[in-house]
A = this chain, B = another copy of it.
């Protein structure tokens, strides 16, 4: 945790307090902070800065001298579209995408996504995964996250509006063109499930504005592909 996120309503007269067990344990046992120490804080969807620890117990952390004077890091102008991964991968994927600065994240269905994945209780916890990603990055701004449980209506009715005049790519092992390097401009990136999008899906994505682009001969796990492509596109 590289930033303690505070609700705007929690901060009054440069003072704030938190009581949740996860963050208290992390600050006490991992960061090993004591009264008088400074801690990096951020206001949710606002500025970041520092605060001083006035007191800390197993039940409560009280902060004073809350000073919010720095802008959070800029987001990447990237809309990341990912086929819903296995539940145990979902948490890391969301965290990583948020940490890397993805502005908009869209989870979609695809032929090779097991329907049962949409029933996972993890999908009810997206907000907590986003918070973990922001805490890691030192960011305060919530990205937009949406889910679309039907592939074709998403690609035909929603995707063209997202793309507008931007470049859009779908990672595809057999594409002729390579994924662009140091693109550094607003774009859309679609990444398939384990086993990849099926040919029908690649064709539909292509007809609706996504250029297939290859990552070379190596087949990457979804999470590895996300981090690697973002590193490559936004260098």
For A181, the closest partner residue in chain B by CB is B235
Which of chain A's residues 197-235 have a Cβ closer than 8 Å to chain B? 216-221, 223-224, 227-232, 235
Asked whether any CB of chain B lies closer than 8 Å to the CB of A189, the reply is no
Bound Cα distance from A224 to B100, whole angstroms: 8
Interface residue stretch chosen among A5-13, A52-60, A133-141, A154-162: A133-141
Asked whether any CB of chain B lies closer than 8 Å to the CB of A36, the reply is no
The answer, among B95, B100, B136, B218, for a CB contact under 8 Å with A100, is B218
The answer, among B2, B217, B227, B231, for a CB contact under 8 Å with A73, is B217
Copy number in the complex reads 2
Bound Cα distance from A232 to B181, whole angstroms: 8
The total of chain A residues at the interface (CB under 8 A) is: 30
Bound Cα distance from A228 to B101, whole angstroms: 12
Bound Cα distance from A227 to B231, whole angstroms: 8
Asked whether any CB of chain B lies closer than 8 Å to the CB of A64, the reply is no
Enumerate chain B residues within 8 angstroms of A43, measured Cβ to Cβ.
none
A13 CB to closest chain B CB (Å) equals 29
Bound Cα distance from A220 to B100, whole angstroms: 7
A224–B96 contact, CB under 8 A? yes
Bound Cα distance from A150 to B7, whole angstroms: 44
Asked whether any CB of chain B lies closer than 8 Å to the CB of A167, the reply is no
Bound Cα distance from A138 to B215, whole angstroms: 13
A1-29, CB under 8 A of B: which get 1 and which 0? 01000000000000000000000000000
For A179, the closest partner residue in chain B by CB is B235
Asked whether any CB of chain B lies closer than 8 Å to the CB of A99, the reply is yes
The answer, among B138, B217, B220, B232, for a CB contact under 8 Å with A218, is B138
B99–A218 contact, CB under 8 A? yes
Asked whether any CB of chain B lies closer than 8 Å to the CB of A182, the reply is yes
Supplied contacts A73-B217, A137-B220, 6 more A-B pairs, CB within 8 Å = A73-B216, A100-B220, A101-B218, A182-B182, A231-B231, A232-B235
4 closest cross-chain pairs (CB), A and B: A228-B231, A181-B235, A231-B231, A227-B227
